[in-house]
Amino acid sequence: MQADQSVFTKEQTAMSTIQTMSQSDLRAEAKRYLPGGVGATGRHNPCLGYALYLRHAEGCRIYDVDGKEYIDFNLAHGAAFLGYNHPATREAMTAALDVGILSGYETEAHTDLARRITEIVPCAERVRYGNTGSEATMVCVRLARAHTGKHKILKFWGHFHGLYDYVMYNSHTPLTPVTPGNYVEPCGESAGMPPQMDDLIIVVPWKDEAALARALREHGDEIGGIIMEPINYNQGCIVADTEYMQFVRDQASAHDIVLIYDEVLSAFRTGPDCAQGYYGVTPDVCVLGKAVAAGAPVTVIAGKAEIMDLVGPLGEVAQSGTFTGNPPAVMTALAAVNELTSPGFYDHIYEAGGRLCDGLVGLFERAGVPARVQGLGARFGIFFGFTHPVERFDDSLNRDQEMTGRFIRACADKGVYFHDYGTLVAGHHGVSAQHTLDDIDEALNRIERALHSM
């Protein structure tokens, strides 16, 4: 007993030491054990040159280990849509812990959440769960191939669908002139991707009807799935019109191709029926992520019954995992969805988002800073270096990255946090349910001081 107590005390002492380290000491210590000093690449902020080490978060504010407070518009890379430590999700997570970590088993919450999703998401007739966006979109690709018997996948330039070989192409590739109506040369975005995978992907510019029509005319009998971000939030906020979205839907149906909406980031940002409800165009399958569980690790794969029923045990498409749909995350997601569908929820989101975007536009104009602010619902992007609308991915590549860095560093210094992903990614920012109008006004005051310091 004494030996156990001694070990416990040493562990406590070690943890206490870590928690009292400064940012700079923690970064140095982390590099001894973690590649680049981070547990995931995206946590490194290139504009700052480091990742933030946080002690805690509350509402719309994060607090680093040095005690510095930030009004946060990164929001856990979009996952903290309800803000941090929201009472409803905290209560759900606590209840899940009280009954035990029941990973690998079904609970009533799994059925309850699936029922709620089918009630509010247009394409959802059946539901399965995953842990990450990458995993979930991979399952959708597998379902598309199984359903159609065709193996190629068509994706769009500048759309991001995860970190696996099937689709990790041309999400963040350099600016290469593409003549309207033509393909984009496939470009894998990671070392270690077999070149043979290039033969299974076709890339075209988004919102180019002629390019899509050509691809389907020439390869429609080989393409099993079309995957897209229905709102390209990953590149700031680039939006299509309903006519184009319906065109893609019609073309997919005409060529017996499964249409996949990757709503990892767009789900619930414009309303409870997600981007497919916003456009009034329904895909065959979709992935809901990030906001669906307010930061808990779960994704939802939803779609038409005839496609979804291809997964085991009914069909032969493999999809499972010990931690797939882990009960704490599922119970948290159920609480989050109930919040997202509560009366008046989106009235506040649109008011707060509009106030912030309008305020930023005014600040940039008065400071003489060329910048385009584009937002829809809960998410927005800032494109420095020009003020004309960003309609295409290649438009976003012309932004002023040096000015982006100066802005993000100045804002961090004044206590406002924006995240950047590097020179080829415009990045995305947003408001949460816990950003009050007073918080927005305070953030704008701090940003104004940041602009003066630039």
For the segment 53-69, what is each residue's pLDDT rounded down to a tens digit? 999 999 999 999 999 99
3 state DSSP class of 123: coil
Residue found by looking up tokens 């803000």 in the block: 83
Kindly report the number of other CB atoms within 10 A of residue 37's CB atom: 18
CATH number of this structure's domain 87-340: 3.40.640.10
Least confident of 20-29, 241-250, 286-295: 20-29
Identify residue 202 by its one-letter amino acid code. Answer: I
The tokens describing 296, both together, are 């808990």
Q: How does residue 421 score in pLDDT terms, banded at 50, 70 and 90?
A: confident
Outline where DSSP puts E strands in 394-436.
416-417, 429-430
Angle at 185 between CA 207 and CA 373, to 5 degrees: 40
The domain spans of the chain are: 10-72+344-453, 87-340
State how far the Cα of 73 lies from the Cα of 428, in Å rounded to an integer: 9
Q: What one-letter code names the amino acid at 449?
A: R
Ranges of H-type helices in 99-150: 108-120, 133-148
pLDDT at 397: 83
Length of the chain: 454
pLDDT number for residue 19: 60
Phi then psi for residue 154, to 5 deg, are -105, 130
Best CA proximity match to 181, nearest among 214, 155, 157 = 214
Render pLDDT for 284-306 as a digit per residue (tens, 0 to 9).
Answer: 999 999 999 999 999 999 999 99
pLDDT at position 10 is 44
pTM of the model: 0.94
What pairing do the DSSP bridges indicate for beta strands 238-239 and 429-430?
A: unpaired
CA angle, corner 234, sides to 228 and 236, nearest 5? 120
Report yes or no: 448 and 407 within 8 Å, Cβ to Cβ. no
| CA 127 to each of CA 7, 17, 114, 411: distance values in angstroms, whole numbers, following the listed order | 45, 44, 6, 41
What is the tens place of the pLDDT at every residue in 70-94? Answer: 999 999 999 999 999 999 999 999 9
Distance CA 141, CA 134 (A): 11
Task: Say if residues 170 and 239 touch (Cβ distance below 8 Å).
Answer: no
Residue holding tokens 């070990």?
A: 7
pLDDT tens digits for range 89-117 = 999 999 999 999 889 899 999 999 999 99
CATH topology of domain 10-72+344-453: Aspartate Aminotransferase, domain 1 (3.90.1150)
